[in-house]
Amino acid sequence: MRALVIKTTLLLAVLVALTVAALDLSTGISWVAATTRAVLGFAIVSAAGWIVGLILMRTALRRWYEEWRLARTQSRARAGR
């Protein structure tokens, strides 16, 4: 799951950077400003993907822990019979 989030985030970040650079260069902005804005767009999308990845991993770990705890409780109940 985490690999999918990383690949999707990287793809979207590159697409955003290319789109921003193309739009800026087509309007006549200098290449320095276009590059700066493209890098900024890449960084924002990458940071958002990183945060989403952390949230997904936290949710997955919580689900795994709850299942593990439930299985442990059930095995103790069976052992006490």
Length of the chain: 81
The full set of domain ranges for the chain reads: 2-79
Q: Give the Cβ contact number of residue 30 at 10 Å.
A: 10
Q: What is the 3-state secondary structure (H, E, C) of the chain?
A: CHHHHHHHHHHHHHHHHHHHHHHHHHCCCCHHHHHHHHHHHHHHHHHHHHHHHHHHHHHHHHHHHHHHHHHHHHHHHHHCC
pTM of the complete model beyond 0.85:
no
- pLDDT digit string (tens) for 9-60? 999 999 999 999 999 999 999 999 999 999 999 999 999 999 988 888 888 8
At residue 78 the predicted structure's pLDDT band, cuts being 50, 70 and 90, is low
